[in-house]
Amino acid sequence: MRGVFAAVALSSLMTGAAGADDARPYSPVTQARLENPEPRNWLMFRRTFDANGYSPLEKIHTRNVKKLAPAWTFATGLREGHQSPPIVNDGVMFITTPHNHVIALDARTGEQLWRYERELPEDLMQLHPTNRGVALWGERVYMATVDAFLVALDARTGEVVWEQQIEDYTHGYYSTLAPLAVKGKILVGVSGGEMGIRGFVAAFDAESGELAWKTHTIPAPGEPGSDTWPGDTWKTGGVPVWVTGAYDPALGLTYWGAGNGGPWTGDTRPGDNLYSNSTLALDVETGRIVAHHQYHWNDSWDWDEVSTPLLIDYARGGKTIHGLVHPGRNGFLWFLERAKDRIRFVDAQPFVRNDVITKLDPVTGRPDYDLSKKPAVGKPATFCPSLSGGKNWPPAVFSPKTRLLYIPANDNLCATLNPEPATYTPGQIYTGVELMIGSETIDFVLHPEAKDHIGELQAWRVDEKPQQVWEHTFKQHLWGPLLVTGGNLVFAGGTNDRAFRAFDARTGKVLWEQRTSSGVVGVPTTYEVDGVQYVAVLSGWGVDAERIQGALNAKLPKSEQVSVPQGGVLWVFALEK
Amino acid sequence: MSRDDPDSSLTPMLCTRRALLGGIAAASCLAPLPVHAQATNPAAKLRPQPGDQLAFAAGERAGHAIAPSEIVARAEPLVAWPRDAASGLLRDGSRLNQVRLVRLDASALSPRTAPHAADGIVAFAAMCSHAGCDVSGWVAETRELVCPCHGSTFRAEDGAAVTKGPATKPLALLPLRIENGELRVARGFTRKVGFTPV
């Protein structure tokens, strides 16, 4: 393993008021605070370890939300997809941007405290120019970078404390996820499933930056599950990890979503391909794989199940099940049980149209496929949902108040894959299909019902017999990460009209909306400073939302084609006085 | 071809004083066999230099100099590395050095392409000006270069200007000349190669 780099700002440019604001108080982040965060704060990607994305704040609620108005804004000066949640620790906010800038702001006034700008290598290829936020531990701020480094910054000044290489970017590894801070370790995963990587989750010591453990998502020969990969396919089989995991303090287990195999169609790697398209339960101390559940085997649809399941305790037959709930990219809503030594399948059902999975084993949940819908080299196939899935990475949320799960979904969008044989070259695309939708190898197909809508914000009851309670539809696709609050509000952007909206969490009624500067693909958060509740979100369209928009535009009449302006702006809202 | 595969490295032709004096190996010295770069060799990372040859980046003749006649009209772009003419060293130590060669109708070239072309042959940086992906697509009907990662397109005949984003800047061109029937680099890239960092 490579050594820890010296604590100098060698590869960064740091600006701001470092030194000038040394007197500004900063509250160190501890395991106890992460396990039981103050209601006013948003200390990690999904606010709490259970990945519920719920804040108990309720000063902004269904009856007064119509008075929500911009309090201040902040332009990042950058293009591309702005996806990070504004993370707030006692009045200090941290956002990240494409090209790996970290900006610290006064969460009340919007004053910039400092800014770190990573100098990226000039030969870098960025398939996904984005970043999904920081992790906090002690008095440090952690960011994983698109050139596959983990950087530790001083939370007060933005100065680099250390930086550690996660993997070699010239071999296709990169990181876009927010790290997860747990018990003095900083956990990260790697993207690069399109470039023949071998995925993993790694933990680094928060203090020193030394590697604590590294667990691959593809077993090496001789390890359990290695017989599910033929020949040398395990070396370049993908299975990336690019969404932040969850953690159960009672079990000491951390849960991570592992993505699809590469190349994209399963004929290139016959077998189940463990642990692709699975949720993994890892011992947080050692990284040991304690349990897994594979949602679908031998993926051939780019249904990349990287989203982390929500830790929700739900009822079945009058009993409480300590659960994992996963609205999958494959369009099924999965209910699992989590325990010390296993993950057990409970039940599942589609939440959007899926014409590939014909049935599930009632005990294990293993799906059967309509093989005519499974593309392979020389055997094109059309299938639903499309490769972008029934739900992509934008996180779902659960409210303990309404007992409803909210899913940002897309329906009526299908796809055709017509893959070609792929040759592995380090650091190059290794999918067997061109990534530009609309080519001979890959295309979207609009289901006739797409005339009505594609995007769906869905609310599901999780207890006893899961059932959809309400749905709000959008004419085109939805790329909106969600926030749900104690004020019974669901917040979401994600549409190409640049709107950011508040919905009544009980009924789905739109109660408020604001047209923003760009399209909103950022994770919204809420926090309180000096007794005032704020809602914050980055507007900055790009990455996959833009890619899919381009593909849709190619299918739609000119009157329905949309071009969304780029440029990142943080919007912070509060109630008008 | 993998840069990391030792078997893909061809043995360099040593051009000794004796060989030069004897004249026997002179031909080999003038047209040395390709020397694949070691990651540590700074000359392999150096941007293309005036007088460099262009060499096949892949295929059976990987590393060998490309003759103008091998770049055929209406064919897909040919992927190439610059190659030091004297030593045969391939400048394959950086992705920023790779180019794509096409032969276009010389009369159709705009003033933004024409000065950099040689007999209709134009070299474009292989790396997209948007996010650094390989610009591997080609639409023959419109002579557009296409980046598959995010869908940007560039008009080959018009200085690789952006015809569809998200790219906001043209691709760099590598000016060419033909010298004694050989294809050579005339000048350095017309603009900085690589992604736009904003």
User: Is the distance from CB of A543 to CB of A129 less than 8 angstroms?
Assistant: yes
Residues of A tagged active-site? 302
B95 vs A439: CB contact, 8 Å cut-off? no
Query: Would you call B12 an interface residue with chain A, using a CB distance cutoff of 8 Å?
Result: no
> Position B133: which residue type?
C
pLDDT digit string (tens) for B92-137? 999 999 999 999 999 999 999 999 999 999 999 999 999 999 999 8
Q: Under an 8 A CB cutoff, do A126 and B137 touch?
A: no
Q: How far apart are the first and last CA of chain A?
A: 55
Asked if pLDDT for residue A454 goes beyond 60, the answer is yes
Instruction: Indicate whether A539 pLDDT > 50.
Output: yes
Is A562 an interface residue toward B (CB < 8 Å)? no
Smallest CA–CA distance, residue A551 to chain B, in Å, is 9
Sheet bearing B137-139, strands edge to edge: B137-139, B144-146, B153-155, B161-164
Structure tokens at B144: 């557009």
- Residue A6 banded pLDDT, cuts 50, 70, 90: very low
Output the pLDDT for position A329.
Answer: 98
B166–A79 C-beta distance less than 8 A? yes
The 10 Å Cβ neighbour count of residue A511 is: 20
Interchain CB distance below 8 Å, B134 and A428:
yes
Contact status, residue A305 vs residue A277, Cβ threshold 8 Å: yes
pLDDT band of A24, cuts 50, 70, 90: confident
Model confidence at A56: pLDDT above 60? yes
Q: Can you point out the beta strands (E) in A462-531?
A: 467-474, 482-485, 489-492, 499-504, 510-515, 525-529
Whether chain A has a CB inside 8 Å of the CB on B194: the answer is yes
Out of A70-74, A363-367, A486-490, B45-49, least confident range: B45-49
To the nearest 10°, report the CA torsion of A172, A153, A97, B148.
-10
Q: B173-174 and B176-179: which strand pairing?
A: unpaired
* Chain segment B2-50, per-residue pLDDT in tens: 333 333 333 333 333 333 333 333 333 344 556 665 556 888 999 999 9
pLDDT of residue A436: 73
* Whether the model pTM is above 0.80: yes
pLDDT for residue B24: 36
Contact (CB<8Å) A125/B146: no
Nearest Cα of chain B lies from the Cα of A109 at a distance, in angstroms, of 25
pLDDT per residue as tens digits for the range A161-183: 999 999 999 999 999 999 999 99
- Please report residues of A whose CB lies closer than 8 A to that of B94: 123
Three-state DSSP state, A328 = coil
The number of C-beta contacts closer than 8 angstroms across A and B is 73
pLDDT tier for residue B55 given thresholds of 50, 70 and 90: very high
CA separation for the pair B153, A433 (Å, rounded) = 18
How far is A407 from A397, CA to CA, in rounded Å? 7
Nearest residue in chain B measured CA to CA from A550? B151
- Position A434 confidence tier, pLDDT thresholds 50, 70, 90: confident
pLDDT for residue A2: 42
Given pLDDT bands bounded at 50, 70 and 90, which one contains residue A12? low
Percent of chain A with pLDDT over 90: 93
Distances (CA, A) of A546 to A128, A207, A318, A477: 11, 38, 45, 11
pLDDT band at A22 (very low <50, low <70, confident <90, very high): low
A145 touching chain B per CB within 8 A: no
What integer pLDDT is reported at residue B197 of this predicted model?
A: 82
Q: Strand, coil or helix: what is A226?
A: helix
Which residues numbered 494-553 in A keep a CB inside 8 Å of some CB on B? 542, 546-547, 550
- The confidence score (pLDDT) of residue A438 equals 74
Instruction: Decide which of B150 and A396 is more confident.
Output: A396
Q: CB contact, 8 Å: B27 with chain A?
A: no
Residues of A in contact with B166 (CB under 8 A): 79-80, 542, 546, 566
- Cα(A152)–Cα(A135) distance, integer angstroms: 10
CB contact under 8 A, A126 and B2: no
What is each CA distance from A571 to A186, A486, A504, A534, in whole angstroms? 28, 21, 21, 10
User: How does pLDDT run across B165-189, given as a tens digit for each residue?
Assistant: 889 999 999 999 999 999 999 999 9
Contacts of B138 in chain A (CB under 8 A): none
Listed range (A252-266, A452-466, B49-63) with the worst mean pLDDT? B49-63
CA–CA min distance B19, chain A (Å): 38
pLDDT digits (tens, 9 = 90+) for A101-122: 999 999 999 999 999 999 999 9
Question: Quick one: pLDDT at residue B11?
Answer: 32
Q: State the pLDDT at residue B79.
A: 95
Say what the ipTM of the complex is.
Answer: 0.82
| Cα angle: A129, vertex A130, A135; to 5 degrees | 145
Chain B residues with CB under 8 Å of A79 CB are: 166, 168, 198
Tens of pLDDT, residue by residue over A252-308, are 999 999 999 999 999 999 999 999 999 999 999 999 999 999 999 999 999 999 999
Distance, CA of A500 to CA of A519 (rounded, Å): 8
At residue A16, the pLDDT reads 52
Average pLDDT, rounded, for chain A:
95
The number of C-alpha atoms within 13 Å of A215 and in the hemisphere containing its C-beta is 24
Closest chain B residue to A99, measured at CA? B197
Answer yes or no: are the C-beta atoms of B149 and B168 closer than 8 Å: no
Structure tokens at A217: 């998502």
